[in-house]
Structure 1
């Protein structure tokens, strides 16, 4: 059974073919008739417009799937220039000619400079080496306590031997002073540790050490030894009787 639907005029497009041949008053609506599935089957079965007078329902067209990309031209078939092909002499002349804004042609010094890897390696390593040497000498000239003895750079050309000897003296004295300060710092640290151990021994303070807790304590120094170490004296000489007897080990291990 056909269904009847009324569509208001303001919902229809203005350029619809319905409004080209005739016009309707603004208060009038347009009634459309839709065919049912039975009508469509009857029309598809061979019934024409003249048989039953019902509209023919056309079949839904297939979906159009355009290709993902158009046809491409082969690269080898495209001409690289307009006109006849170049001769061998013209190609050689183009390679030797220098064009503005482009790389230098082959066989020139500019082409060798920009394309030589060995030349670039030599320039890079020479620059790094010169920076390293400059930093090495400037470290002594700025941070060394003997920087007042550094000779001026002008003596390098007038008195090169004296210049080298002065720099050698500055470097040697700087390293000696550095080693002496390191030794004094290490001795002060050892004395501080000895005084701390002596203080803890006299006051009965024991530190918790996980290694000594598991494996036990070894031979602990006596009070006299700790006192001598803290005060910087010579440790007392142990008598042979005080020395512990060596325990025999099984197979030299246990």
Structure 2
């Protein structure tokens, strides 16, 4: 166990370095923003420390320590936000981008990519959570709407009338949700069922999936999960 422990921080540093490199490719101003955050937040901590501890030896020592801590924290926060924005930009427009982004939903959400798919590469993903069943469509507006309508009828027959079914179309057209705002949009949906019902609904949807052949993911460059990218940003 002791031999494996040193690999953990090294792995985290490597992940953060990789995330930084990937982000800088599309965000050249990232180092400047991180430096500004370090200086501004660090300066605020210096002022606060001197106000609390005074200008003596203790005050100077605490100012240096808190400035380094606060500045580093501020820089990491800016890094995380801009890295997440860059990650969204990299997957937007790619086939399966919605499924990739939906993996960022954590505890309390159950995501099933590609529950329905057609030859035109339109695809529907499913998310189950406190708002109920959320069907997320990607592709051409007409094809996606037909898929969503079909899936809504299938899910309505098994989840029950008391479980809401929501439809979301990923895109930048009217009535659509950009992939950059998809997770936030889903999280802001009004809670309508209890946690115990979520478990029951997940079981019922699994039964529905078992009654039909699995839908293959569309051909083309499917972006990798953003969960690992975000984990790297957190360190």
TM-score, with normalisation over the residues of structure 2?
Answer: 0.26
Larger helix proportion of the pair: 2
- Structure with the bigger RCO (C-alpha within 8 Å, sep 6+) is 2
Which of structures 1 and 2 has the bigger CA Rg? 1
When normalised by structure 1's length, the TM-score is: 0.24
More strand by share: 2
